[in-house]
Structure 1
Amino acid sequence: MNSENQEEELEVLRSIYEGDGNFRELSPKSFQYKYGTEGDPHSFVFEISWPESYPETLPVINMDAFYNKHMKTRVKEDIRSKVLKEADVNIGSAMTYTLIEWVKENLEELMVDQPSTMDTSLNLANLDIEEKVEHLCKDNKERRSGLTKAQKRRQWDRMDGKGEKIRGYDWVDVIKHLSQTGGAPSS
């Protein structure tokens, strides 16, 4: 019975959201909907997946899409919990469309704690402990280039003013090379 209900709901979703660029079907049981416009700090991607026993059980709500990296963890969790609360009311019936539309209607309220300016650098105060450790480790790896100052200086000296290697940078002085190795040019 679940499989038939899911197939019917899938067909309905496809017909409703046909041509809607914000709706994306990841698989026959997993969907994404993008709210807001590109670059807007209040835009995010909402993902909903159906477990085997859906609609008798709650769908899986995921807010961890890469697109949502600018959002505060607390805001993502708040959206997820409120959507699951709304889904709980609709247990036993097809609810994907209802949940997508519910988020649209309540978008302003859901994003009230999200800053209205896009901060491209991560604010460590907004991250949980695991995210802080991951961010700091990544930051530390990016800082280390592996070259000493002397190596960087020698590398720079081999470049012309445009940042390109000068002609002949890897040429070998044959006469000097042969005199160092003890070999003499044959005539």
Structure 2
Amino acid sequence: MDYKEEQAQELDILRSIYPDELDEISETKFNIHFALDTRPVKYIVLGVEYPEDYPETVPILSVETSDGTFLKERKGEEDGEDDEEVHFEDELNNDDMKKLLDELDENAQENVGMASVFTLASLLKEQAEELYNEKVKKKEQAHEKAILAEEEKEQEKFRGTPVTPESFAEWRRKFREEFKLDQANEQRDKTKLTGREIFERGLNKDEDEDDLKEAMDELNVNK
């Protein structure tokens, strides 16, 4: 196999596929710049260097983020031209770059003996977009979870302790003992009070269970 010829042929094919994206440093070293299909647009660069016996060995690869200057200049775009307002965004960090590079190296090993740069470049773009969009999705979910938690917290302010016959009777007993209402009640008019008056004043010592239920029902209705 003529390694130099194989490399030259592949590089020629890459020129036709990536007329704006390909940045040739030498006959054996080049970068391919990508604008990812993300919102907002993110940029990533695949660095490739041919070992002397490529494609019988894997190419030397690198992956890094970019500000997109190279592509914008090649395409005649102005800074900010591709910007759009989004609610959530994130960045691809060094750990992400390592993960992407590991996937490329693994795929390159599987393609030893064949020209593989186009395959690797396509894989990188796809994986980088998927990784970025997944990070943004997690950020959106975390934001939604925080909003729901805050709403729940606000709703708790308007929720009282549920009134049961037992809890009402216990509260009433303590209330009457504290204010000695049983003694006072002996001198008060025995006129039947409304449910709310019973609750607010707690004066009727001999009310039956129906009176207690009426008081609780009226309290729940008027909450």
TM value normalised by structure 1: 0.50
1:50 aligns with 2:50: yes
Whole-angstrom CA distance in 1 between matches of 2:101 and 2:5 = 27
1:91 aligns with 2:91: no
Q: What do residues 40-61 of structure 1 show as CA deviations (whole Å, max 9, x unaligned)?
A: 5742212111111111111111
Contact 1:41 1:115 in 2 (8 A): no
Residue type of the alignment partner of 1:63: V
> 1:51-130 maps to which residues of 2 (within 5 A)?
51-64=51-64, 71-111=92-132
- The structure with the largest alpha-carbon Rg is 2
Which consecutive unaligned segments of at least 5 residues does structure 2 have?
A: 69-90, 138-223
Q: What do residues 103-152 of structure 1 show as CA deviations (whole Å, max 9, x unaligned)?
A: 23333234357669xxxxxxxxxxxxxxxxxxxxxxxxxxxxxxxxxxxx
Residue type of the alignment partner of 2:23: R
1:36 aligns with 2:57: no
Identity score, percent:
28
Whole-angstrom CA distance in 2 between matches of 1:54 and 1:108 = 28
Q: What do residues 146-186 of structure 1 show as CA deviations (whole Å, max 9, x unaligned)?
A: xxxxxxxxxxxxxxxxxxxxxxxxxxxxxxxxxxxxxxxxx
Whole-angstrom CA distance in 1 between matches of 2:67 and 2:59 = 21
The match for 2:141 is: none
Contact 1:35 1:104 in 2 (8 A): yes
TM value normalised by structure 2: 0.43
Contact 2:46 2:62 in 1 (8 A): yes
User: Offset of 1:31 from its aligned partner?
Assistant: 2.0
Cα pair distance change 1:42/1:27, threshold 3 Å: same
Residue type of the alignment partner of 1:57: T
Tell me the matched-pair count: 113
The match for 1:25 is: 24
- SS of structure 2 residue aligned to 1:56: coil
Whole-angstrom CA distance in 2 between matches of 1:114 and 1:46 = 21
Cα pair distance change 1:62/1:114, threshold 3 Å: farther
> 1:147-158 maps to which residues of 2 (within 5 A)?
none
Structure with higher helix content: 2
Whole-angstrom CA distance in 2 between matches of 1:107 and 1:78 = 10
Whole-angstrom CA distance in 2 between matches of 1:46 and 1:40 = 20
User: Offset of 1:25 from its aligned partner?
Assistant: 1.7
What is the root-mean-square deviation in Å for CA atoms of aligned residues?
2.9
- SS of structure 2 residue aligned to 1:63: strand
Q: What do residues 60-107 of structure 1 show as CA deviations (whole Å, max 9, x unaligned)?
A: 111257759x64211010011001111111110111111112223333
Whole-angstrom CA distance in 1 between matches of 2:27 and 2:131 = 27
- SS of structure 2 residue aligned to 1:111: helix
Whole-angstrom CA distance in 1 between matches of 2:114 and 2:131 = 24
